Structure 1
Amino acid sequence: MRAKLLTLVALAILVLSHPALAQDGEAPAQAAQAAKAATESQVRAPDTMGTLVSLGIGLLAVIAIIYGCAWIIRRMNGMTGMNNQAIKVVSVMALGARERIALIEVGGQQILVGITPSAIRTLHVFDEPVVDASNPPSGDFARRLQGMIGRSWNAPTRND
């Protein structure tokens, strides 16, 4: 009984607070005005060219921001004072899934280091350079590749 009474009171408050329902004389006028506004908005076609131009400008702005951020990051890496010519990795050999040894040249001296996921340890410091880092590898594959790079890449002609 109490729930029904509360429901009726809530319904009465809703009816009295809504302006279209509270004033019967203005309800049809407001409904007609709303219908007229709805038909006018449907008659006016959206400005598709303006929308496309706005969308294109927004897309170009996002792409420009991405390129600008990439340029700034590249410039910031150069300002950190890193000198990549001081340390050279001469050779790396994998020993396991995550373990490897590397031959590093620092100031004309070569150092053999062991690299694991948790540590890097010096294995040996060589008095004389073991491998010349400036010379390219002299293997058979390297020689053939250098020979192919020097040749022109035109297709061979057939003499049929």
Structure 2
Amino acid sequence: MVSRSAWQRAKEPHARDRASFIPELITLLENSGRLVLTDGETPDCLPADYRFHLSDGHTPGMLLTEIPLEGGPVVYAADLIPGASWVHVPITMGYDRFPEQLIDEKRGLLDDLLTRQGRLFFTHDPQHALARVARDGKGRFHAAEQLPRLTALAS
């Protein structure tokens, strides 16, 4: 599952992104019959209550998958929020293509998840797999109820 804009970029990468793509894989994936392109809508192959958030701040067309669970949704935060430290809104990575846009996208996602008691799954955090979105007394977002492994979610 790939956003149409990310797929287009993979097929015609910018010089800065070119090393991130293996050209032979593009054709293999296109011919596999397994490629699903989306503009953010939930494809028929997924449950209707799954949701996608599109982000362009880190890399154009990045998809963040939201899975509804009892106790609040979980969002695969990808490289928008790759670890617990990045929940703090102004923290970004040097790899982010459009850091100001990323900050705006992050703030919007965190506001939304806070109101729905949502959690974030982190892709690059060696100590934390999952955390609930929270705000401190000064209004800053932070990772709360951090879990070191997803198996801890089931217990």
Larger Rg: 1
In the superposition, the TM-score normalised over structure 2's length comes to: 0.20
More helix by share: 1
In the superposition, the TM-score normalised over structure 1's length comes to: 0.19
Higher relative contact order (CA 8 A, sep 6+): 2
